[in-house]
Amino acid sequence: MARINEHYKKLSAGYLFPEIGRRMAAFQKDNPGVKVHRLGIGNTTEPLTPAVVEGLKEAVEKLSKPETYTGYGDEQGEEELRLALARFYGSRSVKLDADEIFISDGAKADAANIQSIFGRDNRVAFQDPAYPVYVDSNVIAGRSGSFDGGSGTYAGFLYMTCVAENGFIPEPPQEKADLIYICSPNNPTGAVATREELQKFVDYARENKAVIIFDAAYSEYITDSSLPRSIYEVDGAEECAVEINSFSKFAGFTGVRLGWSVVPKALVVEDSEPGEVHKLWFRRQTTFFNGASNIAQQGGLAALTDAGLAESAGLIDYYMENAAVIREGLHQLGLTVYGGVNAPYLWLKAPGGLSSWDFFDKLLNETQVVGTPGSGFGPSGEGYFRLSAFGHREDIEAAVQSIVNNLKL
């Protein structure tokens, strides 16, 4: 008799973004013809840049000829791309070996899968609020007890509260944690950890033989050059941190699908030698994954050329100008808003003490703007609301205008 993985039953509800889609569809059904402004999911909207398009086309061309056709590539990714990424890190004074870089089809899969190389009895700590994939993947793996609807937490997990008082960047846990997820620039709060703040986590991890899983998917949105874009800019991080990153928000690859993870050879845990964790991830990827699309990888390579990098910087500037437009509008209304400076997300305090979902409904009904309820990212997100700066400028301006004109405060 087959049985299901019962840990799925513990998951608190459906995945956040499909639930938002469901509510939006219901609104559209009741209000046919009314335009809805989508500032919910962080999905890129601007076309791929010329250098990337050229790279992708070249890859397709190669596949069209017998002399240059290639099938399966290395599971770890094309060496040329890994070397280019190592150079990219090198340009930021981070020294990595191309072998320490694993190409993937995006950060989401890596963020969900990385836990599988660690023992089930590891104690896991999360920023609260956090990108839901970290928590859910650990629930599915059986690292939690049941979900408590009252507190919005899973038994057995450590929640590192991120609130305005600590600038949405927590201190390392007081208790012992084994796996620690950190996302900076942060989704959803838009906060960025300083070097000193990350150093505290690295020191904690080295002391406790813990592993930091650092999601840097928005690293390129950092405009303040004093802020670290990679955890490896922090002393000792190569001994205790895995870094996950992506071409999605960096170069508009949300639909193309390409990301990477860094698992340094120096990384050690309680029961491993240096190199062993790196080997486990290699084993995991070669067993479960057949490599990212060769077309996408050629696109990634083009994104890392000087022309590609300059063009991507232009895309990022565009989205960050959107963020400024949103901030400005919200400030005009006297709302309390965080983020949106070194990150493409704005984190808004729901006015009038409204809950996140009540504000979601109010914003949708009064202004036809869709955002993401903060409570969907964890209990400390309750009473907050995320707005995404991804969108065409005219849509962003129309959304902000609608909020300014129609939101009843």
Q: Which residues of the shown chain bind ligand PGU in the complex (CB under 6 A)?
A: 17, 41-42, 106-108, 111, 131, 183, 187, 215, 217, 246, 248, 254, 259
> At its nearest, how many Å lie between ligand PGU and the CB of residue 69?
27
Residue 364 has, within 13 A of its CA and on its CB side, a CA count of 24
Least Å from the CB of residue 86 to ligand PGU: 19
Residue type, 42: G
C-beta of 268: minimal distance to ligand PGU in Å? 25
Reference 386, options 330, 347, 343, 334; nearest CA is 347
Residue 228 beta carbon to ligand PGU: minimum distance, rounded to whole angstroms: 16
Query: Residue of minimal CB distance from ligand PGU?
Result: 106
Residue 253 contacts residue 46 (beta carbons within 8 Å):
no
Task: Region of 381 please: left (phi>0), alpha (psi -120 to 50) or beta.
Answer: alpha
> What is the rounded CA–CA span in Å between residue 344 and residue 349?
17
CB of 290 to ligand PGU, least distance (A): 17
Q: Which is nearer to ligand PGU, 76 or 187 (CB)?
A: 187
Closest CB to ligand PGU among residues 106, 170 = 106
CB of 258 to ligand PGU, least distance (A): 8
Q: How far is the CB of 291 from ligand PGU (least distance, A)?
A: 16
Nearest to 334 by CA among 359, 351, 322: 351
Q: Are 160 and 170 in contact (CB under 8 A)?
A: yes
Please say which residue, 268 or 316, places its beta carbon nearer to ligand PGU: 316
* Comparison of 268 and 364: residue with beta carbon closer to ligand PGU: 364
Q: What whole-number distance in Å separates Cα of residue 281 and Cα of residue 409?
A: 51
Within 10 Å of residue 369's Cβ, how many Cβ atoms? Answer: 21
Residue 187 C-beta: closest distance to ligand PGU, Å:
4
76 or 248: CB nearest ligand PGU: 248
DSSP state of 55: H
Number of residues that this document lists for the chain? 409
Alpha carbon of residue 129 to chain centroid: 13
**Which run of H or E residues covers position 378?**
none
Cα distance between residue 108 and residue 41, in whole Å: 14
Tell the smallest beta-carbon distance from residue 405 to ligand PGU (Å): 26
Burial status of residue 138 (CB atoms within 10 A of its CB: 0-12, 13-18, 19 or more)? buried
CA–CA separation, 9 vs 29, rounded Å?
30
List the alpha helices (DSSP H) in 64-215. Answer: 79-90, 107-113, 132-140, 195-208
Compare residues 39 and 302 and give the one whose CB is closer to ligand PGU. Answer: 39
Cα–Cα distance for residue pair 280/287, rounded to 1 Å:
10
36/266 with CB nearer ligand PGU: 36
Nearer to ligand PGU, 189 or 368 (CB): 189
Report d(CA 174, CA 158) in Å as an integer. Answer: 10
| Residue 115 vs 208, nearer CB to ligand PGU | 115
